[in-house]
């Protein structure tokens, strides 16, 4: 949900306000400070890998990966985002409420990081004490496609997660049974410094709103965004001292491409220089969606590598 810091919801959210929030989405309501990508992507029928047919959102990121030294200009043809190619991001999942139609149920995204593990944002599941109320949809680009529905057996929020300033906005879901989706690798702590390289292009995907006052997308969408320097992210025109060590920003000063409500918890991905995408960030928060000077804010995944490993090693 790309809600704002000031609108982090208590446990009552899970019994009443979730449905109300989706009704508000449909009516065009949006909180002032929101979490998640704005206009994210119509599926491609062709699976050809010729350069002219590779979606520009992916091609841009490949041009400048964390494993290369190349810097490229942003492709001006990408405005907002487009429907993601089928199965381009097999680790992408939708997190929703069990027993409700998938499209109405969806409230956050997540990434498969193991056979029965999903990484998401802490604010997505904050206050949810009953994992059995949640479901995870995988194996599809469409919310109205049955895909594979998995139940959740355990929710683990980072112990230092702060609903006040959104520090350490990360959580892991343990699924009741393994799923067959390809997990995404995590950007290593050693490579995290590459995120500060000027001009680095990343990809964000999700089913969130296609504009700030719009509706949740039925089709998975993706958008290319540029990693923003810490100085720009903490500038007076952006977020000042609201940015903590567990966060980084991505987007464009002029706006137009970003994450939005419903994308929270989903992946921000960068190429590893070997033709693969790896997880560098989690959609966390932002002021509005794709507003000039108001970048999307993401949880810095490499900072939590040890924590993730400990949670998964502990298992049940």
CATH code for the structural domain at 5-31+91-183+305-314: 2.40.10.10
- Tell me the residue ranges of DSSP E strands in the chain: 33-34, 82-83, 92-97, 108-114, 117-120, 134-138, 148-157, 171-175, 185-186, 201-206, 221-228, 247-251, 267-271, 277-287, 296-300
User: Which region among 179-188, 210-219, 222-231 has the lowest average model confidence (pLDDT)?
Assistant: 210-219
Q: According to the model, what pLDDT value does residue 253 have?
A: 59
Q: What is the DSSP letter of 142?
A: B
Nearest Cα residue to 206 out of 35, 3, 64, 21: 35
CA-angle at 10, arms to 262 and 244, nearest 5°: 70
What does the radius of gyration of the chain's CA atoms come to, in whole angstroms? 17
Torsion over CA: 185, 41, 105, 128 (sign): positive
Q: Which residues contact 226 (CB under 8 A, 6 or more apart)?
A: 74, 199, 200, 201, 202, 250, 251, 252
Q: Is 168 helix (H, G, I), strand (E, B) or coil?
A: coil
**So what's the pLDDT on residue 235?**
77
Rounded distance between C-alpha atoms, residue 85 and residue 189, angstroms = 29
Of the candidates 38, 60, 169, 272, the residue annotated as catalytic is 169
For residue 187, give both structure tokens: 């950007």
Higher pLDDT, 75 or 279: 279
Q: What is the pLDDT averaged over residues 108-112?
A: 96
**Listed residue (176, 205, 210, 173) closest to 270, CA to CA:** 205
pLDDT in tens, 124-148: 999 988 999 999 999 999 988 889 9
Residues 227-266: tens digit of each pLDDT:
988 888 887 767 888 889 999 988 875 544 444 445 789 9
User: What pLDDT shows up at residue 218?
Assistant: 84
Region of poorest pLDDT, from 108-117, 201-210, 225-234: 201-210
- 158 is known as an active-site residue: no
**Same fold: 5-31+91-183+305-314 with 51-86+185-302:** yes
Cα separation of 13 and 125, whole Å? 10
pTM for the predicted model, two decimal places: 0.75
Place of tokens 């969130």: 208
Q: Which residues pair with 111 in a beta bridge?
A: 92, 119
- What is the percentage of the chain residues whose pLDDT exceeds 90? 41
51-86+185-302: CATH topology = Thrombin, subunit H (2.40.10)
Residue 81 banded pLDDT, cuts 50, 70, 90: low
Q: Report the pLDDT value the prediction gives residue 198, as an integer from 0 to 100.
A: 67
Sole residue written with tokens 């137009």 = 256
Residue of 60, 65, 105, 123 marked active site: 123
Query: Which has the higher per-residue pLDDT, 52 or 200?
Result: 200
Phi, psi of 189, deg, nearest 5: -60, -35
| pLDDT classification of 172: cutoffs 50, 70, 90 | very high
Which residues are within 8 A (CB) of 24 and not within 5 positions of it... i.e. 6 or more apart? none
- Say if residues 206 and 283 touch (Cβ distance below 8 Å): yes
Q: Which carries the bigger pLDDT value, residue 19 or residue 237?
A: 237
Asked about 123 being catalytic, the answer comes back as yes
Going from N- to C-terminal start, the domains of the chain cover 5-31+91-183+305-314, 51-86+185-302
153 among known catalytic residues: no
């Amino acid at each position: 949900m790309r809600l704002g810091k000031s609108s982090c919801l208590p446990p009552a959210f899970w019994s009443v306000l979730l449905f109300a929030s989706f009704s508000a989405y449909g009516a065009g309501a949006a909180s002032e400070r929101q979490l998640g990508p704005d206009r994210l992507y119509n599926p491609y029928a062709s699976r050809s890998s010729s350069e002219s047919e590779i979606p520009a959102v992916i091609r841009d990121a490949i041009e400048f990966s964390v494993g290369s030294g190349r810097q490229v200009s942003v492709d001006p043809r990408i405005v907002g985002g487009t429907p993601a190619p089928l199965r381009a991001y097999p680790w992408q999942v939708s997190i929703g409420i069990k027993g409700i139609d998938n499209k109405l149920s969806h409230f956050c995204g997540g990434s498969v990081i193991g056979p029965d593990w999903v990484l998401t944002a802490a604010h997505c599941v904050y206050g949810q004490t009953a994992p059995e109320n949640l479901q995870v949809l995988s194996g599809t680009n469409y919310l109205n496609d049955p895909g594979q529905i998995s139940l959740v057996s355990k929710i683990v929020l980072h112990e230092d997660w702060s609903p006040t300033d959104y520090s350490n906005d990360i959580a892991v879901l343990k699924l009741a049974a393994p799923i067959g989706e390809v997990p995404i690798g995590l950007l290593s702590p050693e490579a995290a410094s590459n995120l500060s390289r000027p001009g680095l292009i990343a990809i964000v995907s999700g089913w969130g709103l296609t504009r700030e006052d719009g509706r949740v997308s039925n089709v998975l969408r993706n958008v290319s965004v540029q990693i923003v320097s810490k100085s720009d992210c903490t500038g007076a025109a952006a977020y000042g001292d609201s940015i903590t060590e567990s966060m980084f920003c991505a987007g464009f000063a002029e706006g137009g491409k970003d994450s939005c409500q419903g994308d929270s918890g989903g992946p921000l991905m960068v190429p590893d220089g070997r033709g693969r995408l790896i997880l560098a960030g989690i959609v966390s928060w932002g002021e509005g969606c794709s507003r000039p000077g108001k970048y999307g804010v993401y949880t810095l995944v490499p900072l939590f590598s040890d924590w993730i490993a400990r949670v998964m090693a502990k298992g049940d």
